[in-house]
Amino acid sequence: MHQEILRQIPKVDRVLAWERMAALVASHPRPELLAAIRSVLERLRVAVRSGASCELSEDNIVSLVNVELDQRGAPSLRNVVNGTGVVIHTNLGRSPLADDAEEAIRRASRGYSNLEFDLSSGERGTRYVHVEGLVCELTGAEAALVVNNNAAAVILALSSLAQGRDAIVSRGELVEIGGSFRIPEVMLQSGAHLVEVGATNCTHARDYRAAINDATALLLKVHTSNFAMVGFTAEVTVEEMSVMGREAGVPVMVDAGSGCLIDLSAYGIAGEPTVRRYLAGGADVVTFSGDKLLGGPQAGIIAGRRDIVAPMKRHPLLRALRMDKLSLAALEATLRLYRDEWRAVRDIPTLRMLTALPADVSQRADRILGMLRRRLPKAVILLKHKGESSAGGGSLPLLRMPTSLIEVRIGDASVQQIEQSLRQASTPVVGRIHRDRFLLDVRTILDHDLPGLSLSLAETAASLTGGNQ
């Protein structure tokens, strides 16, 4: 039976000759169209061999070829509605950019720029000058440097300061973060020799002092990022480490991870030191990310003493790790917003979402529900629930923010069907399933997401109900 059905699947030339294909033949390059037809016909053959029911009419095959062409023509990297409630979602691109940063990218991409050209002298300049002053102004550092991410910043700093020598780290700070990024392996790549001190839960100043010798090049403190230890714990502060560093004549480096530039305790978020506080506490150099709590583009920022940062600016690795002009433009625009804290919290989406009050989130959920209910068919039932959001991105692992959730029900469809259909919609929508409910967290849905969210919900309803809405 399968062989008989397989013989009914037309050849490529026959499909090309169909009258219904004329418009596609006229509007698509022949190689692209041939590839789409072959792909569709092969999928039909696979389906037949598996025993699945297949519609082999001209209308259906042409429709499948249309869909295939659309998918081939669509960009792989697409905008997604983040309904997960994870503000700094690594898999969804971490921090969305402020409007100012987006405009800066547009300007930098349209033509030439003074990326590495000194307009005052008419001679070659350095790309880092565009943000160094801002980083120093906002952190209190003497000098600064930026590379393409914080892992690169850590490797560059360790290679400059401790290659072939010892770097002392608390055993409780030998963390692994997303993508199997492990501090011990990063140190190995940098050429620094890892010296572990203390226990997993407790490290004391005496542990560092006992390990310091003539081979010691660096005392390193690492932000624990995406986990927290509670209970019987002890750690050595940056202030204590700086005293030991001065006594031994070795610098103190802090890998601050997310990199916070404003005191979030004023907004009810405690426990995250600012980069300025680390430097004021005696750290000689601090590295941190640009696309986490800072709310900018992917970047690794190095801030510290001038004599410590200077060798990094001359290091051979720097060219391989440098930032491109578009990210640099976005970072400069983001840093400029921090000159006015109120404006930064208002205009940088990550800060705005993290500091939003539960009452404001609830009111916004009501407005979104009202808008969606007016636009969507009756088959779509939307219900409001209370819930919690998280920071994500290896930041503030214990933080749970009260939020408002929208539960989506569509006819008799299962939550798994709803989740899959929305994820594959024209504007992909990513939410979460909890207790057999498909939920969208309003905190992480941006205003410009709403038209796409509405359209994708309508598409999903039509798909899952067969148009009977």
Mean pLDDT per 10-residue segment, the chain (469 residues): 81 92 92 93 86 82 90 87 96 96 96 95 95 98 96 93 93 72 79 89 92 94 76 88 95 92 92 93 96 96 97 95 96 98 97 96 96 91 96 86 97 95 92 96 96 92 76
Instruction: Provide the residue count of the chain.
Output: 469
pLDDT of residue 178: 58
For 449, phi then psi, to 5°, come to -80, -20
Structure tokens at 360: 């404001």
Q: Are 395 and 88 in contact (CB under 8 A)?
A: yes
Alpha-carbon span 235 to 204, nearest angstrom: 6
421: helix, coil or strand? helix
For 455, phi then psi, to 5°, come to -65, -40
Helices of type H across 21-87 = 22-27, 30-49, 58-73
Structure tokens at 177: 């973060």
Q: Are 461 and 376 in contact (CB under 8 A)?
A: yes
Alpha-carbon span 316 to 328, nearest angstrom: 20
Alpha-carbon span 389 to 405, nearest angstrom: 10
Rg (CA), the chain: 27
Q: How far is CA 257 from CA 21, 152, 412, in A?
A: 55, 12, 45
State the greatest distance between any 2 C-alpha atoms of the chain, in Å, as a whole number.
86
pLDDT of residue 234: 86
pLDDT of residue 314: 95
Q: Are 279 and 304 in contact (CB under 8 A)?
A: yes
DSSP characters for 201-255? SB--HHHHHHH--TTEEEEEEE--TT----SS-B---HHHHHHHHHHHT--EEEE
pLDDT of residue 212: 95
Alpha-carbon span 432 to 425, nearest angstrom: 16
Q: What is the pTM of this model?
A: 0.88
